[in-house]
Protein backbone atom coordinates (compact mmCIF):
# COMPACT_ATOMS: atom_id res chain seq x y z
CA UNK A 1 0.00 0.00 0.00
CA UNK A 2 1.03 3.58 -0.63
CA UNK A 3 -0.74 6.51 1.00
CA UNK A 4 -0.99 9.91 -0.70
CA UNK A 5 -2.20 12.86 1.38
CA UNK A 6 -3.84 15.69 -0.57
CA UNK A 7 -4.34 18.84 1.45
CA UNK A 8 -4.53 22.60 1.10
CA UNK A 9 -6.48 25.63 2.32
CA UNK A 10 -10.27 25.50 2.62
CA UNK A 11 -11.55 26.42 -0.83
CA UNK A 12 -8.63 24.92 -2.77
CA UNK A 13 -9.23 22.17 -5.34
CA UNK A 14 -7.95 19.26 -3.27
CA UNK A 15 -10.97 17.07 -4.01
CA UNK A 16 -10.70 17.76 -7.73
CA UNK A 17 -6.98 17.00 -7.73
CA UNK A 18 -7.50 13.81 -5.72
CA UNK A 19 -10.11 12.57 -8.19
CA UNK A 20 -7.94 13.45 -11.20
CA UNK A 21 -5.04 11.50 -9.74
CA UNK A 22 -7.28 8.54 -8.90
CA UNK A 23 -8.75 8.48 -12.41
CA UNK A 24 -5.29 8.38 -13.98
CA UNK A 25 -4.09 5.36 -11.99
CA UNK A 26 -7.33 3.40 -11.51
CA UNK A 27 -6.68 1.26 -14.62
CA UNK A 28 -3.59 -0.18 -12.98
CA UNK A 29 -4.48 -0.53 -9.33
CA UNK A 30 -7.32 -0.32 -6.86
CA UNK A 31 -7.64 3.20 -5.51
CA UNK A 32 -9.51 4.32 -2.40
CA UNK A 33 -10.28 7.98 -1.69
CA UNK A 34 -10.84 8.85 1.98
CA UNK A 35 -12.28 12.26 2.88
CA UNK A 36 -11.33 13.88 6.17
CA UNK A 37 -14.86 15.31 6.46
CA UNK A 38 -16.26 11.82 7.12
CA UNK A 39 -14.33 11.69 10.40
CA UNK A 40 -15.52 14.83 12.15
CA UNK A 41 -16.48 14.47 15.80
CA UNK A 42 -20.10 15.43 16.48
CA UNK A 43 -20.79 17.11 19.81
CA UNK A 44 -24.00 17.38 21.83
CA UNK A 45 -24.34 21.13 21.29
CA UNK A 46 -23.88 21.08 17.49
CA UNK A 47 -27.55 21.89 16.91
CA UNK A 48 -27.38 24.91 19.18
CA UNK A 49 -24.28 26.22 17.39
CA UNK A 50 -25.75 25.97 13.89
CA UNK A 51 -27.60 29.12 12.85
CA UNK A 52 -29.32 29.74 9.52
CA UNK A 53 -26.09 30.82 7.83
CA UNK A 54 -23.86 27.97 8.99
CA UNK A 55 -26.53 25.49 7.89
CA UNK A 56 -25.88 26.71 4.35
CA UNK A 57 -22.18 25.90 4.62
CA UNK A 58 -21.16 22.45 3.29
CA UNK A 59 -19.23 20.27 5.69
CA UNK A 60 -15.98 20.72 3.76
CA UNK A 61 -16.13 24.46 4.52
CA UNK A 62 -17.49 24.30 8.06
CA UNK A 63 -14.41 23.08 9.91
CA UNK A 64 -15.58 23.86 13.44
CA UNK A 65 -15.63 20.27 14.67
CA UNK A 66 -12.54 18.27 15.66
CA UNK A 67 -11.35 15.35 13.55
CA UNK A 68 -11.29 11.82 14.94
CA UNK A 69 -7.71 11.09 13.93
CA UNK A 70 -7.76 7.63 15.53
CA UNK A 71 -10.66 6.46 13.33
CA UNK A 72 -9.11 8.11 10.29
CA UNK A 73 -5.79 6.29 10.84
CA UNK A 74 -7.64 3.01 11.29
CA UNK A 75 -9.54 3.55 8.04
CA UNK A 76 -6.34 4.33 6.13
CA UNK A 77 -4.54 1.27 7.44
CA UNK A 78 -7.37 -1.06 6.41
CA UNK A 79 -7.18 -0.31 2.67
CA UNK A 80 -5.19 -2.14 -0.04
CA UNK A 81 -3.56 -0.67 -3.12
CA UNK A 82 -3.32 3.12 -3.35
CA UNK A 83 -5.01 5.23 -0.68
CA UNK A 84 -5.67 8.92 -1.35
CA UNK A 85 -6.58 10.91 1.76
CA UNK A 86 -8.15 14.31 1.12
CA UNK A 87 -8.63 17.07 3.70
CA UNK A 88 -7.46 20.38 5.12
CA UNK A 89 -6.01 19.37 8.51
CA UNK A 90 -4.18 16.17 7.56
CA UNK A 91 -0.76 17.57 8.45
CA UNK A 92 -1.85 18.89 11.86
CA UNK A 93 -1.47 15.51 13.58
CA UNK A 94 2.09 14.16 13.76
CA UNK A 95 1.08 10.50 14.06
CA UNK A 96 -1.21 10.86 11.04
CA UNK A 97 1.56 12.50 9.01
CA UNK A 98 3.71 9.46 9.73
CA UNK A 99 1.25 7.29 7.77
CA UNK A 100 1.66 9.31 4.57
CA UNK A 101 4.19 8.18 1.99
CA UNK A 102 3.67 11.30 -0.14
CA UNK A 103 2.32 14.60 1.19
CA UNK A 104 0.83 16.99 -1.39
CA UNK A 105 -0.28 20.57 -0.74
CA UNK A 106 -2.55 22.27 -3.29
CA UNK A 107 -1.80 25.97 -2.91
CA UNK A 108 -4.45 28.59 -3.63
CA UNK A 109 -4.62 32.29 -2.86
CA UNK A 110 -7.46 33.88 -0.92
CA UNK A 111 -9.33 35.12 -3.99
CA UNK A 112 -9.36 31.63 -5.52
CA UNK A 113 -10.56 30.08 -2.27
CA UNK A 114 -13.45 32.51 -1.87
CA UNK A 115 -14.42 32.11 -5.54
CA UNK A 116 -14.56 28.31 -5.19
CA UNK A 117 -16.48 28.74 -1.94
CA UNK A 118 -19.15 30.89 -3.59
CA UNK A 119 -19.45 28.52 -6.56
CA UNK A 120 -20.10 25.66 -4.16
CA UNK A 121 -22.67 27.43 -1.97
CA UNK A 122 -24.41 29.55 -4.64
CA UNK A 123 -25.82 32.05 -2.10
CA UNK A 124 -29.01 33.97 -2.78
CA UNK A 125 -29.23 37.75 -2.71
CA UNK A 126 -30.32 37.62 0.93
CA UNK A 127 -27.58 35.24 2.06
CA UNK A 128 -24.56 36.42 0.07
CA UNK A 129 -23.50 39.00 2.67
CA UNK A 130 -23.56 36.66 5.71
CA UNK A 131 -21.99 33.87 3.64
CA UNK A 132 -19.10 36.16 2.68
CA UNK A 133 -18.88 37.33 6.28
CA UNK A 134 -18.53 33.70 7.39
CA UNK A 135 -15.68 33.21 4.94
CA UNK A 136 -13.86 36.34 6.10
CA UNK A 137 -14.24 35.76 9.84
CA UNK A 138 -14.04 31.96 9.95
CA UNK A 139 -12.59 30.27 6.87
CA UNK A 140 -9.95 32.89 6.01
CA UNK A 141 -8.71 32.92 9.60
CA UNK A 142 -8.38 29.14 9.62
CA UNK A 143 -6.54 29.18 6.28
CA UNK A 144 -4.12 31.91 7.32
CA UNK A 145 -3.44 30.83 10.89
CA UNK A 146 -3.91 27.04 10.92
CA UNK A 147 -3.82 25.41 7.48
CA UNK A 148 -1.38 27.32 5.26
CA UNK A 149 1.42 27.11 7.88
CA UNK A 150 1.16 23.29 7.59
CA UNK A 151 2.59 23.53 4.06
CA UNK A 152 6.03 23.23 5.69
CA UNK A 153 5.36 19.48 6.05
CA UNK A 154 4.65 18.90 2.37
CA UNK A 155 6.70 16.96 -0.17
CA UNK A 156 5.10 18.49 -3.26
CA UNK A 157 3.29 21.80 -3.65
CA UNK A 158 0.82 21.89 -6.55
CA UNK A 159 -0.26 25.35 -7.73
CA UNK A 160 -4.05 25.64 -8.06
CA UNK A 161 -3.68 26.60 -11.72
CA UNK A 162 -1.46 23.61 -12.60
CA UNK A 163 -3.36 20.63 -11.23
CA UNK A 164 -2.45 18.52 -14.27
CA UNK A 165 1.09 19.88 -14.55
CA UNK A 166 4.54 18.52 -13.70
CA UNK A 167 3.61 17.77 -10.10
CA UNK A 168 0.98 15.30 -11.29
CA UNK A 169 3.63 13.70 -13.52
CA UNK A 170 5.88 13.13 -10.51
CA UNK A 171 3.07 11.35 -8.64
CA UNK A 172 2.24 9.16 -11.64
CA UNK A 173 5.89 8.22 -12.08
CA UNK A 174 6.00 7.24 -8.41
CA UNK A 175 3.06 4.88 -8.94
CA UNK A 176 4.68 3.45 -12.09
CA UNK A 177 7.77 2.46 -10.13
CA UNK A 178 5.68 0.93 -7.36
CA UNK A 179 3.36 -1.02 -9.66
CA UNK A 180 5.58 -4.08 -10.38
CA UNK A 181 6.03 -4.60 -6.63
CA UNK A 182 2.33 -4.64 -5.77
CA UNK A 183 0.61 -7.86 -4.68
CA UNK A 184 -1.32 -9.59 -7.46
CA UNK A 185 -4.64 -9.09 -5.68
CA UNK A 186 -4.38 -5.32 -6.17
CA UNK A 187 -3.09 -5.40 -9.76
CA UNK A 188 -4.81 -5.82 -13.07
CA UNK A 189 -8.00 -4.83 -14.88
CA UNK A 190 -10.31 -5.60 -11.97
CA UNK A 191 -9.00 -2.59 -10.06
CA UNK A 192 -11.32 0.31 -9.31
CA UNK A 193 -11.54 3.72 -7.70
CA UNK A 194 -14.11 4.43 -4.99
CA UNK A 195 -14.79 6.67 -2.03
CA UNK A 196 -14.38 5.20 1.44
CA UNK A 197 -16.88 6.07 4.14
CA UNK A 198 -16.71 4.86 7.73
CA UNK A 199 -19.87 2.82 7.09
CA UNK A 200 -18.28 0.93 4.17
CA UNK A 201 -16.01 -0.91 6.58
CA UNK A 202 -12.43 -2.12 6.25
CA UNK A 203 -11.06 -3.19 3.03
CA UNK A 204 -1.66 -1.32 4.27
CA UNK A 205 1.86 1.31 4.10
CA UNK A 206 5.42 0.92 3.22
CA UNK A 207 7.75 2.40 0.67
CA UNK A 208 9.70 5.56 1.35
CA UNK A 209 8.59 8.95 0.10
CA UNK A 210 10.62 10.18 -2.83
CA UNK A 211 11.04 13.91 -3.30
CA UNK A 212 12.59 16.29 -5.78
CA UNK A 213 12.22 19.75 -7.23
CA UNK A 214 10.92 20.40 -10.73
CA UNK A 215 9.55 23.40 -12.52
CA UNK A 216 5.89 24.07 -11.74
CA UNK A 217 5.85 21.95 -8.57
CA UNK A 218 7.56 23.21 -5.43
CA UNK A 219 9.13 20.29 -3.62
CA UNK A 220 11.40 19.61 -0.67
CA UNK A 221 14.61 18.18 -2.11
CA UNK A 222 15.79 14.83 -0.67
CA UNK A 223 17.28 11.65 -2.05
CA UNK A 224 15.17 9.14 -3.95
CA UNK A 225 13.50 10.54 -7.00
CA UNK A 226 16.37 12.76 -8.17
CA UNK A 227 18.63 9.85 -9.10
CA UNK A 228 16.00 8.35 -11.39
CA UNK A 229 14.23 11.47 -12.68
CA UNK A 230 16.42 12.00 -15.77
CA UNK A 231 15.97 8.46 -17.08
CA UNK A 232 12.30 8.17 -16.22
CA UNK A 233 11.37 11.58 -17.58
CA UNK A 234 12.20 10.28 -21.06
CA UNK A 235 9.77 7.38 -20.79
CA UNK A 236 6.23 7.64 -22.11
CA UNK A 237 3.67 7.80 -19.33
CA UNK A 238 0.23 6.54 -20.42
CA UNK A 239 -1.60 8.35 -17.63
CA UNK A 240 -0.80 11.98 -18.08
CA UNK A 241 -1.36 14.65 -20.67
CA UNK A 242 1.87 16.30 -19.54
CA UNK A 243 4.73 15.81 -22.06
CA UNK A 244 7.07 13.06 -20.88
CA UNK A 245 10.15 15.23 -21.23
CA UNK A 246 8.99 17.72 -18.54
Choose among 131, 100, 70: nearest CA to 210: 100
Choose among 195, 179, 183: nearest CA to 239: 179
> CA 205 → CA 1, 22, 53, 89, 113, distances in Å?
5, 17, 41, 20, 32
Choose among 24, 3, 29, 25: nearest CA to 187: 29
Q: Between these two residues, 224 and 86, which has the higher pLDDT value?
A: 86
Q: What is the pLDDT of residue 42?
A: 74
Helix (H) or strand (E) holding 8: none
Spatial distance between the Cα atoms of 173 and 72, rounded to a whole number of angstroms: 27
Q: Where residue 220 falls among pLDDT bands split at 50, 70, 90?
A: very low
Domains of the chain: 2-232 (3.40.50.300)
Show Cβ contacts of residue 161 under 8 Å, excluding neighbours closer than 6 positions: none
The DSSP symbol for 209 reads -
Q: What is the pLDDT of residue 224?
A: 39
User: What's the pLDDT tens digit per position in 96-125?
Assistant: 999 999 999 999 999 999 999 999 888 887
* DSSP 3-state of 13: coil
Amino acid sequence: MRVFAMTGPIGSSIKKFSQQFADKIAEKIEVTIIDESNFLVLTNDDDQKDDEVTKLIPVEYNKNRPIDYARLKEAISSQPGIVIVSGNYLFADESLRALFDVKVFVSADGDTCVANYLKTIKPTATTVEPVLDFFEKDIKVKNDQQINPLEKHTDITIPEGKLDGPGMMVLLTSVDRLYPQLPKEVRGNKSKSFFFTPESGPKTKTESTEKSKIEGAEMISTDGLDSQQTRESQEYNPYSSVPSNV
